[in-house]
Amino acid sequence: MRDVLHVGSGKVRELYALDDDRLLLVASDRISTYDVVLPTEIPDKGCVLTGLSAFWFARTRTLVPNHLLALRADGRSLECRRLEMLPVEVVVRGYLAGSGWTDYARTAEVCGHRLPAGLSESERLPEPIVTPATKAAEGHDLNVTEVEAAAMCGPGHYEAARDAALALYRFAAAHAEERGILLADTKFELGIDDEGVVTLADEAVTPDSSRFWPADDYAPGGPQPSFDKQYVRDWCLASGWDRTPPGPELPPEVVAGTRARYVEAFELLTGTPFDRYLADPEVVLCA
Ligand code: Q0Z
């Protein structure tokens, strides 16, 4: 790209500076599993994730202000306001999965939330909980208590971020459930704008920042299949891969099956045919 400064790389995304006030977030077609980026891309995955983020940003902007300025015609790039990012990620969990389940099984608590005894893996929580994490150690998030998060962000900023995240989760989970997808948990990144307002940033409620479960197959008492990545995970483990880099190349049928699941999640959640999105990405912005 012409005259844009590369300012950061995620595992599967790139960040560029357009000017002092604006950033460009570009989602690639790369896929990671068990924290390893695979050598094979999933065609259109970046467009699916960018379109979903843009869809949620458009629909929640009256609930919580966000950083979206424009969705580019390539369907995979978002122009954003540059914010002062908070030093914690704000995870909202409606179900007990991942590190939430691990911590609960060991201590009956998750990030300082005391939960009822006897819950099983993947069970729905009585109320969603907010479990902040720091982006401290290389790649790996470290769960912290809300008291610790408030100390790191300043209590006013943390409380506003927590309230925003809970409101966003409740909205997105209700929308998704009506369309056959359980939003088990999702991670938000928020920042402060130039007027001091806590603002939603980064990506929003995508399969890369969330656990999406097919509602039809929901069976608490063990881990749930992931809506998007389950084919990839199952195939990788069945291939004998030991979860250390490099990951295996994916065969064409696994690529096609995975792409189809991403596209299905997009279409269920947005109600828009994915081909229409590719032809004119801004269709997802009319709330
Ligand atoms: C997001 C990240 C990515 C690498 C910084 N609106 C914003 N203002 C200031 N900073 C950010 C944002 Cl979104 C910001 N990240 C995460 C995304 C590649 C890192 F695509 N880092």
Q: pLDDT tens, 108-148?
A: 999 999 999 999 999 999 999 999 999 876 778 999 999 99
- The confidence score (pLDDT) of residue 136 equals 73
Q: How far is 148 from 134, CA to CA, in rounded Å?
A: 10
Whether the pLDDT of residue 177 is over 70: the answer is: yes
Nearest CA to ligand 1 atom 2: 10
- The confidence score (pLDDT) of residue 137 equals 63
Ligand 1 close to Cβ of residue 190 (< 6 A): no
| Position in ligand 1 atom list of the atom nearest CA 202 | 13
- The confidence score (pLDDT) of residue 1 equals 82
Whether the pLDDT of residue 287 is over 80: the answer is: no
| Position in ligand 1 atom list of the atom nearest CA 83 | 8
Q: What is the pTM of this model?
A: 0.97
List, for residues 75-96, the tens digit of each pLDDT value: 999 999 999 999 999 999 999 9
Ligand 1 close to Cβ of residue 204 (< 6 A): no
Q: How far is 198 from 86, CA to CA, in rounded Å?
A: 9
Whether the pLDDT of residue 2 is over 80: the answer is: no
Q: Tell whether the torsion through CA atoms of 58, 62, 66 and 70 is positive or negative.
A: positive
The set of long-range contacts for 232-241, using a CB threshold of 8 Å and a minimum separation of 24, is: 232/31, 232/33, 232/38, 232/258, 233/33, 233/34, 236/33, 236/34, 236/38
In the reported structure, the alpha carbon of residue 282 is separated from the centroid of ligand 1 by a whole-number distance in angstroms of 22
Q: What percent of the chain has pLDDT over 90?
A: 97
Instruction: State which H helix or E strand residue 13 sits in.
Output: strand 13-17
Ligand 1 close to Cβ of residue 80 (< 6 A): yes
Ligand 1 close to Cβ of residue 82 (< 6 A): yes
Alpha-carbon Rg for the chain in angstroms: 18
Nearest CA to ligand 1 atom 13: 202
Ligand 1 close to Cβ of residue 84 (< 6 A): no
Q: How far is 100 from 123, CA to CA, in rounded Å?
A: 11
| Position in ligand 1 atom list of the atom nearest CA 67 | 6
* Residue (of 153, 219, 216) closest to 188 by Cα position: 153
Ligand 1 close to Cβ of residue 15 (< 6 A): yes
List, for residues 227-243, the tens digit of each pLDDT value: 999 999 999 999 999 99
In the reported structure, the alpha carbon of residue 265 is separated from the centroid of ligand 1 by a whole-number distance in angstroms of 24
Whether the pLDDT of residue 164 is over 80: the answer is: yes
Q: What is the mean pLDDT of the chain?
A: 97
